[in-house]
Homo-oligomer: A and B are copies of this chain.
Amino acid sequence: MGNPKVDKDIVIDKLMEVFRSVGYDGASLADLAAATGLKKASLYHRFPEGKEAMAHAVLDHVADWNEKEVVAILMSSKPAEKRLNTVLDSINDLYNGGRLACILRALSHGTAADLFRNEIAAIFQNWVVAFAHLAADFGHEPEMAKRLAESTLIRIQGSLILAQTLQQPNLFKNALNDIKSDFLKPSGNK
């Protein structure tokens, strides 16, 4: 296939940056071209289906990251507490300590909502399954483990919104700590 991956990952990374900061509808082809350093026509050469395909490529990349950095770790055989800490650290890095928006949320609105809902839902569901698995290893009952996993995603998404709107990144850090203590707690409440 010639030399197909020269800087493909960099391009996807730059596309992601734009989508995540201004959303799908807010991202113009001119923005995307400027961010990648490519001209519009070159972007269309790589993504013949246009902007929609660019967002799909970004989501595929996110799904891969998710499998490697979250699901695989949470499902591994290391000690439960170590798994939790490793993943929460990754998540903290991913969002730069609460300063960066979530790409999944950015692609959940406006025109994008209908286009990408299924892909995004699949990623969320993988997180829930993986975190529920971890919660079970911490000794939580199945039903409670699932609630705890859902609550984890809820806290991450909600705290990112507040952290960015109020420009208080600590709200995100606090949420990560709350998540940790929820998992460590003996069970019986959420």
A residues neighboring B (CB under 8 Å)? 22-23, 25-26, 101, 104-106, 108-111, 113, 117, 120-121, 124-125, 147, 150-151, 153-159, 161-162, 164-167, 171, 174-175, 178, 181, 185, 189-190
Q: Is the CB of A155 within 8 A of B153?
A: no
Q: Describe A's contact surface by its main secondary structure.
A: helix
**Which of B121, B161, B167, B189 interacts with A165 by CB under 8 Å?**
B121
* Docked complex Cα distance between A22 and B110 (Å): 4
Quick check: A105 and B185 within 8 Å, CB to CB? no
- Among residues of B, the one whose C-beta sits closest to the C-beta of A123 is B165
B-side contacts of A151, CB under 8 Å: 175, 178
Smallest CB gap from A28: residue in B = B25
B158 touches A154 (CB 8 A): yes
